[in-house]
Amino acid sequence: MKNITFSADEALIHEARRRAEAQNITLNELFREWLSRYVAQPAAPDLYDDLMARLQHVNTNRTYTREEMNERR
Give residue 26's domain range: 10-70
Question: Smallest Cα–Cα separation from 28: which of 6, 11, 46?
Answer: 6
Look over the chain and give the mean of its residue pLDDT values, rounded to a whole number.
90
Mean pLDDT of 51-65: 87
Asked if 60 and 54 count as a contact pair (C-beta separation under 8 A), the reply is no
**Does any domain span residue 24?**
yes
Residues of the chain above pLDDT 90, percent: 52
0.85 exceeded by pTM: no
**Does any domain span residue 41?**
yes
In this model, does residue 59 exceed pLDDT 90? no
Number of domains forming the structure of the chain = 1
**Does any domain span residue 5?**
no
pLDDT at 49 (0 to 100):
84
